[in-house]
Structure 1
């Protein structure tokens, strides 16, 4: 029986066609948009970002002005609207309130990840949710409010209290840097009610530490259950900045959210 010999050029063309077809068939990875919370800035994601990038994700650390839920959500929504393809929105702390609002009406947002974050219902505020459950010591760790010329107050955490209150499981030298560079939140932002939380119709994932002193862990458990979280990870002993002290666990949950059809 005669063997059929395929010319090398045809073999190469067939291989290239097959590779191209596979590349076309593989769905693009979602862009991960990270939103920081109060008393922090985008550098709080610095340990999570390299993990996501190494695993092939495009990452955007969106600005969060910390002025008000609706105004901040509009800024984040503007960032998301400029991204082609699917997006996973990730919010830390007050940033959870922001992503809940920002995702509403954006068809390219495929999921929400709450990292030690608020997921308020319509009419709820961050302050009310914190006070609804025992465990937060944030009120006693705040510096005297800074009066703004346009009205209202900015809130900071006392630098001497920052390590214990905000980042107890982070090395002290690093916590001191975070304390010095903290971004203030407008007091009005923490008392602004949510209007249309997107977690009611988008899949969500939650991760937080049971050593959090800003948002009571029981409050975060309540919000995760109410949102019908696809997966909730509770990190033993972790502080409010779980994405700093336990970056691999946070990145892993974000990637699970991104990989969910």
Structure 2
């Protein structure tokens, strides 16, 4: 971009800000949110809640939960999880954690559980881990391995044709026509259709990658999942919660794989329990 073009863009931006000011609108260049690492977190400040979505979802899947938590004064960050590899996604999340001052409660959904298990390893500022219909792998375990440990997952038969990646490997999507029944059966049909359209693909290799981090061994752990999950067998999540010595496990009757969408209040309540316990 030429310097004249850059000056033009800056001029347009300044003019737009001036117009808002003239209308009496306050424009915040830095939105209210978590304190950056270079800043000191205020004494007694509530922990920042960092939400990590899983495969076939995006950060908007946390909207209901984030709204409840922000309404109670918690700073919230919903990570745009790359869904490329467990190790890479964990490094990305860890780098974001480094920019946040003060204590953090780290929350992962589905595949995001593997990500937070790695991202929080060795980070003393992470005060609790919350697994929302999520994987909590032991070192060397993969998502695929854990999902197949108990019967009940229908994910394989719901996948659309793989999409080849330029660098090799494939991306995976859930077939839009099968999305609601498999992934979000207790979400209203119109909302589930939009989720299906906007789903983020996951690299198949990420689901097969052995996990290395086991942050659940040295952080307080909380679990919440649906009893009607068709993605991760509920028996698998019960087993992982017990193995991780979860301080509290909430099982929501008839809930699907996305309780943070269909039961945002219950999920937010457990996250707040974890946050208060971390004080």
TM-score, normalised via structure 1 length: 0.90
CA contact (8 A) 1:63 1:75 kept: no
Secondary structure of 1:117 counterpart: coil
Give 1:27 deviation, angstroms.
2.1
What are the Cα deviations for residues 11-36 of structure 1, in whole angstroms up to 9, with x where unaligned? xxxxxxxxxxxxxx972210000000
CA contact (8 A) 2:152 2:230 kept: yes
Q: In 2, Cα distance between the equivalents of 1:203 and 1:50? A: 24
Q: In 2, Cα distance between the equivalents of 1:106 and 1:161? A: 39
Map of 1:245 onto structure 2: 262
Map of 2:176 onto structure 1: 159
* 1:3-152 mapped onto 2 (5 Å cutoff): 27-152=44-169
Q: In 2, Cα distance between the equivalents of 1:44 and 1:90? A: 13
What are the Cα deviations for residues 164-217 of structure 1, in whole angstroms up to 9, with x where unaligned? 000000010110000000000000000001112100110100000010000000
Map of 2:19 onto structure 1: none
Give 1:144 deviation, angstroms.
1.0
TM-score, normalised via structure 2 length: 0.84
Of 182, 194, 197, 2:199 maps to 182
Secondary structure of 1:149 counterpart: coil
Map of 2:15 onto structure 1: none
Runs of 4+ in structure 1 off by over 6 angstroms are none
| Bigger-Rg structure (1/2) | 1
Q: Does 1:194 align with 2:180?
A: no
CA contact (8 A) 1:100 1:197 kept: yes
What are the Cα deviations for residues 84-122 of structure 1, in whole angstroms up to 9, with x where unaligned? 000000000000000000001212111100000000000
Map of 2:18 onto structure 1: none
Q: Does 1:222 align with 2:239?
A: yes
Give the CA RMSD over aligned residues.
1.2
Q: In 1, Cα distance between the equivalents of 2:84 and 2:70? A: 30
**Structure 2: gaps of 5 or more residues:** 1-41
What are the Cα deviations for residues 129-179 of structure 1, in whole angstroms up to 9, with x where unaligned? 011101100000001111101000000000000010000000101100000
Map of 2:27 onto structure 1: none
CA contact (8 A) 1:114 1:205 kept: yes
